[in-house]
């Protein structure tokens, strides 16, 4: 019980607001909720009876605990008072567990971020520069990965978007389709983006390495170096306002720092483009890691909120139309 409360408290501090997690299904349901929130709960959980009026936002916990219903409420138990951050977290965990579209007792508008409108169409100059970079990469013979790859996986999304997301390397699905993040981790990435109002029309996505490493092994430092000049030109052309690096490979390659992910996630970095302009850069978990470690999704949520907060702060949504 003590350990469960500790997790409870840490969830509380992640969102910086007073709220209570409880579960009508008793210890098992609470345990599942706490697992989802942080993965560290020990013991049998806390009986909801020990918590004040825990009826606010009910959540079918289909993915983790059959038949268990988890509840989220404020200390005062008033549904209308449940903080937006909690509602958004519930929405996020639903989204990520594939329950996102299900109707619930909550108004959608109260539990999700506003949808970010698609970025304007890219300028002909930008489109031409990207097409020419892609052609150059397709003709490049300096990386052995290309010899065994089906496709050069270049980029996807809107090159005019404020946010550029950089992953590691294509997997099997990406290799076949020639597009980044279209497999399982791509589907999770889409749901993560959706939880903060983005989709592929409002972001741009690429990878550190543009050809699939055999057996989905991580790219070697040599392969990363071979692709690096393309990546820096790619960033220069897209000229995003914010870069999001997914996982350690992207972080090491783009920022050239050796920090661990836990520390790096806490801060904003600056990536300097070749024209000297600095781009705000953040690091978060790679979705394939989150697929393997779903307990970390709550921390990814913190990162996503930080991303959306930065985006909103600078109103990048109102990007100038193409010239």
Residue range at the interface with ligand URA (CB under 6 A); choices 60-68, 76-84, 161-169, 289-297 = 161-169
d(CA 39, CA 16): 19
- The full DSSP string for 253-287 is HHH-----HHHHTTS-EEEEPTTS-EEEEEEE--H
CB of 17 to ligand URA, least distance (A): 33
Q: Helix H segments across the chain?
A: 2-15, 27-38, 84-96, 108-111, 124-138, 145-148, 172-177, 184-195, 221-238, 247-255, 261-264, 287-292, 297-313
Site string for ligand URA, 184-223 (x = CB under 6 A): -xx--------------------x----------------
With CB under 6 A as the contact rule, which of the stretches 33-41, 131-139, 168-176, 223-231 interacts with ligand URA? 168-176
Closest distance of CB 183 from ligand URA, Å: 6
Rounded-to-integer distance, Cα 284 and Cα 251, Å: 9
Residue 181 binds to ligand URA (criterion: CB under 6 A): yes
Q: Tell me how far apart the alpha carbons of residues 41 and 30 are, in angstroms, rounded to a whole number.
A: 10
Strands of the 163-167 sheet, one edge to the other: 156-157, 203-207, 163-167, 242-246, 278-284, 269-272
Question: Of all residues in this chain, which one has the CB nearest to ligand URA in the complex?
Answer: 167
Among 96, 169, 193, 196, binds ligand URA (CB under 6 A): 169
**Residues 36-40: contacts with CB within 8 Å, 24+ apart?**
36/64, 36/93, 36/294, 36/295, 36/297, 36/298, 37/7, 37/11, 37/298, 38/7, 38/10, 38/11, 38/295, 38/298, 39/293, 39/294, 39/295, 39/296, 40/3, 40/6, 40/7, 40/10, 40/295
Selected from 157, 170, 213, 240, the binder of ligand URA by CB under 6 A is 170
Choose between 15 and 181: whose C-beta lies nearer to ligand URA: 181
Provide the minimum distance between the beta carbon of 206 and ligand URA in the complex, in angstroms, as a whole number: 8
CB of 262 to ligand URA, least distance (A): 20
**Cα–Cα distance, 137 to 132 (Å, whole number):** 9
**Chain residues 252-311 in contact with ligand URA, contact rule CB under 6 A:** 288
Task: Confirm or reject binding of residue 174 to ligand URA (CB under 6 A).
Answer: yes
Stretch touching ligand URA by CB under 6 A, among 126-134, 162-170, 228-236, 258-266? 162-170
Select the residue interacting with ligand URA from 168, 175, 223, 303 (CB under 6 A). 168
Q: Which residue in the set 180, 219, 240, 294 belongs to the binding site for ligand URA (CB under 6 A)?
A: 180
160 is an interface residue for ligand URA by CB under 6 A? no
Q: Which is nearer to ligand URA, 70 or 288 (CB)?
A: 288
**For residues 28 and 177, which CB has a smaller minimum distance to ligand URA in the complex?**
177
Residues near ligand URA (CB under 6 A) are: 167-171, 174, 180-181, 183, 185-186, 207, 288
């Amino acid at each position: 019980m003590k350990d469960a409360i500790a997790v409870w408290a840490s969830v509380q501090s992640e969102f910086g607001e007073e709220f209570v997690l409880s579960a009508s299904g008793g210890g098992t349901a609470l345990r599942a909720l706490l697992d989802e929130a942080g993965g560290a709960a020990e013991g049998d959980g806390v009986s909801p009876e020990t918590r004040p009026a825990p009826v606010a936002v009910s959540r079918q916990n289909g993915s983790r605990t059959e038949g268990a219903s988890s509840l989220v409420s404020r200390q005062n138990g008033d549904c209308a008072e449940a903080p937006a951050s909690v509602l958004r977290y519930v929405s996020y965990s639903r989204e990520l567990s594939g329950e996102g579209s299900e109707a619930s007792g909550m108004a959608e508008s109260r539990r999700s971020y506003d949808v970010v409108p698609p970025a304007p169409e890219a300028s002909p100059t930008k489109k031409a520069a990207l097409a020419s970079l892609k052609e150059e990469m397709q003709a490049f013979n300096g990386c052995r990965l290309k010899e065994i790859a089906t496709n050069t996986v270049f980029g996807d999304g809107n090159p005019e978007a404020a946010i550029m997301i950089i992953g590691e390397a294509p997997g099997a699905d990406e290799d076949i389709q020639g597009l980044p993040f279209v497999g399982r981790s791509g589907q999770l990435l889409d749901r993560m983006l959706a939880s903060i109002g983005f989709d592929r029309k409002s972001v741009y996505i690429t990878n550190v390495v543009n050809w699939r490493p055999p057996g989905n092994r991580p790219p070697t430092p040599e392969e990363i170096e071979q692709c690096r000049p393309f990546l820096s030109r790619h960033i220069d052309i897209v000229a995003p306002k914010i870069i999001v690096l997914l996982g350690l490979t992207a972080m090491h390659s783009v920022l050239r720092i050796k920090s661990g992910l836990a520390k790096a996630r806490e801060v904003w970095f600056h990536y300097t483009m070749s024209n000297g302009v600095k781009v705000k850069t953040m690091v978060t978990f790679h979705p394939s890691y989150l697929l393997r470690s779903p307990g970390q999704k709550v921390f990814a949520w913190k990162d996503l909120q930080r991303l959306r907060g930065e985006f909103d702060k600078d109103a990048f949504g109102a990007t100038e139309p193409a010239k």
